[in-house]
Each structure stands twice: as structure tokens, then as C-alpha cells.
Amino acid sequence: MDAVPTALTIAGSDSGGGAGVQADLKTFLACRVHGMSAITAVTVQNSLGVSGFYELPPEAVAEQIESVATDIGVGAAKTGMLASAAIMAAVAETVQRLGIAPFVVDPVAASQHGDPLLRPDAVEALRDVVLPLATLVTPNLGEIALLTGVEVRTRADMDEAAAALLALGPKAVLVKGGHLAGDDAVDLLHDGETAIEFRAPRHDTAHTHGSGDTLASATTAALARGATLAAAVAEGKAFIRGAVAGSFPLGSGLGPVGHFW
Ligand code: PLP
């Protein structure tokens, strides 16, 4: 059997199974890569929201990354919930020292319910310590405002947001315009030279828990299989379209995107 591609998620656990590490591992499997996890925090969560979270010690996060990278190897990695400035510093040091790449950063700040997934002091570390290492950063509009101060209201604002994010040091940015008004959902991939627009018809559902994680992990899986960045984002977009179409109600709140049905 040929070597199986590998991908690592550095992220938080969702006890409800719809987002976070659980979504990433399901996505890695569905995208035909072997998934590994370095857990940063354990959230207490169901379909109604996140009622709390417990961080792991930063050295426990760094040791998980080092353990798998030095034995199994990491074809590509992604980050989700990083929780605190101290965990971010440990992740950045380890990823840099071990030369882990491609490195996709999903700058998770809050759940779709608005529950915080980041300590307030961690935004600066996300911007200054983690983003400069990213092959690709995948913020939604709220995360763009938090990281750059740019409020995206129109398609033209997305170009300004891309430039402001690229100035923070990532090699490329995927501005996710899903929350903008319009019939199509528009995302913009920009690497400082070339811009590619991805358009997809909107799918009307409230059950999109885990959609950001799933897009980032499907893109990471494609990178682990050797795709170019543009091809990987196209694969990620195709996968999330299918997953949103397969979303389903669960509990009495927001259901998750579906991976297999
Ligand atoms: N819980 C964890 C551990 C996550 O990583 C995320 C998103 O990255 C969420 C919850 C929030 O997911 P959503 O915004 O889709 O509700």
C-alpha cells in the first residue's frame, strides 16, 4: 500500500461532536487522509452553545505536536480554537522549530452562538505570533474585524480586508464572505499577487455548526495530498458545499454540517 497522507489538527474538543477536533477528524477521514490531533482545550458544549472550556497546559499541546511530527510525520496542519496566548506561543514555537508546513490557520474566536472560544488577551498573540507562520489564514467577517479593524460590508471591502490580513504576514488569505448579503456566498483567495473568487449559491439552513472548521480541514487534507493552494481551497469549498447540503438538526439548537449524508 502507498504511504497514506497525514494531517494534524491543533484545536479544541467539541463534546457535541459537530465542530472542533471532532469535525476535523471526520473531515480528514472523508477526504482520505490519516487525521491526528493536538488538543488545546476541552469545551463543554451541546447544540445550544458552549457553556465553558478547560485549557490544556501549553506544554501538553506542544508535546502532542512534537510526538506525532517526529514519528508519524505531518503532511499538513491546521489550527482551530487555540484558546490562550500561552498556547499560541507554544504552538508557534513548535510548528516553527519542526518546520511543519503547509500550516492553515482558522482564527477561531467565537462559536456561531457568540460564545467566546478565545481569552480576550489572545487576539494580539493570534495576530502577532500565529498569523505570520500561516500558509493560509481563513477568517470569517467577524474574525477579520477583530484582527484588522476592517469592517466588510461590500464585495469591495473584501479586497481591503485581504490586503490588511496579508500585511500581518500569512502567505495567503481566504476571506470568507458567507455572511454578506446576496444570493451567492463569495469567498476571496488572495496570495498578494493573484486573487481568485469562489462563488456558490447560498444553501438556506440554520444547521451550520462546524462549517468553518470543516472548510479549513478539507482544505488542509487536500494540501496534505499535495494539491496547490488554489486547488486545495477549491476542494475545500466543494466539500463544505456538500457538507452544508447534508446538514441536519440535532438537539434543540443548531445542528452540524453533515459529512457523509
Ligand atoms: N467548538 C470548537 C471546539 C470549535 O473549534 C469551534 C469552531 O471552530 C466551535 C465550537 C464553533 O463552531 P461554530 O462556529 O460552527 O458553531
Residue 194 banded pLDDT, cuts 50, 70, 90 = very high
Tell whether ligand 1 has an atom less than 6 A from the beta carbon of residue 143.
no
In angstroms, what is the span from residue 213 Cα to ligand 1's centroid? Answer: 7
pLDDT digits (tens, 9 = 90+) for 167-185: 999 999 999 988 777 778 8
What is the dihedral angle through the alpha carbons of 241, 244, 245, 251, rounded to the nearest 10 degrees? 170
Span 224-241, average pLDDT: 97
Choose the residue to mutate in 81, 87, 113, 143 for probing ligand 1, maximizing ligand atoms within 8 Å of C-beta.
81
Residue 255 has what pLDDT?
Answer: 94
User: What is the chain's percent helix, strand, coil content, to nearest 5?
Assistant: 40, 25, 35
What do you get for the CA distance between the two ends of the chain, in Å?
A: 28
Residue 260 has what pLDDT?
Answer: 64
Tell whether ligand 1 has an atom less than 6 A from the beta carbon of residue 133.
no
Tell whether ligand 1 has an atom less than 6 A from the beta carbon of residue 75.
no
246/236 Cα distance (integer angstroms): 15
Q: How many CB atoms lie within 10 A of CB 85?
A: 21
Q: What b/e sequence results for 183-195 when a residue is b if at least 16 CB atoms lie within 10 Å of its CB, and e otherwise?
A: eebbbbbbbeeee
pLDDT at 243 over 80: yes
φ, ψ of residue 135 to 5 degrees: the values are -70, -35
20/13 Cα distance (integer angstroms): 5
Say what the ipTM of the complex is. Answer: 0.92
CATH superfamily ID and name for 6-245: Ribokinase (3.40.1190.20)
142/131 Cα distance (integer angstroms): 16
156/75 Cα distance (integer angstroms): 35
User: Domain boundaries in the chain?
Assistant: 6-245
pLDDT digits (tens, 9 = 90+) for 96-152: 999 999 999 999 999 988 999 999 889 999 999 999 999 999 999 999 999 999 999
pLDDT at 203 over 90: no
